[in-house]
Amino acid sequence: DQQVKQNSPSLSVQEGRISILNCDYTNSMFDYFLWYKKYPAEGPTFLISISSIKDKNEDGRFTVFLNKSAKHLSLHIVPSQPGDSAVYFCAASESSNTGKLIFGQGTTLQVKP
């Protein structure tokens, strides 16, 4: 039973345009959400996070939106750059001191010059 889902395996956008990556979750106990970026042969790198008390968090070109009623979050990258081409993982966690993350299956983003 997959509690975190990224339904789009891949996304292709033009440089300078907006990239929107989506993520859905089923467990209503999740209250902390994260996005990771992963290049081939490297480990996932933390990008941005949001807690359930917020509906938006922004960091430079990256913005994460959380819609708790829909159990949906999205990552917006504006403007997209070729260096953003990577696999993006959505992850979720329950507030506890275990730090356990449940990951989606990832979306491969390709930004074309």
Residue ranges that bind another protein, judged by CB under 8 A: 31-32, 34, 36, 41-46, 49, 51, 87, 89, 93, 95-103, 105-106
Q: What's the rounded Cα separation, in Å, for the pair 84 and 38?
A: 10
Q: What's the rounded Cα separation, in Å, for the pair 70 and 23?
A: 11
Q: What's the rounded Cα separation, in Å, for the pair 61 and 1?
A: 33
Task: Give least dist CB 62 to another protein, A.
Answer: 14
Task: Give 48 or 79: the residue with its C-beta nearer to another protein.
Answer: 48
| C-beta of residue 105 within 8 angstroms of C-beta of residue 44 | no
Task: Give 41 or 113: the residue with its C-beta nearer to another protein.
Answer: 41
Look up residue 82 and give its two tokens. 């070729």
Task: Give least dist CB 31 to another protein, A.
Answer: 8
Task: Give 42 or 113: the residue with its C-beta nearer to another protein.
Answer: 42
Task: Give 4 or 77: the residue with its C-beta nearer to another protein.
Answer: 4
Task: Give least dist CB 9 to another protein, A.
Answer: 9
Task: Give least dist CB 78 to another protein, A.
Answer: 22
Dihedral pair phi/psi, residue 102, rounded to 5°: -105, 120
| C-beta of residue 48 within 8 angstroms of C-beta of residue 61 | no
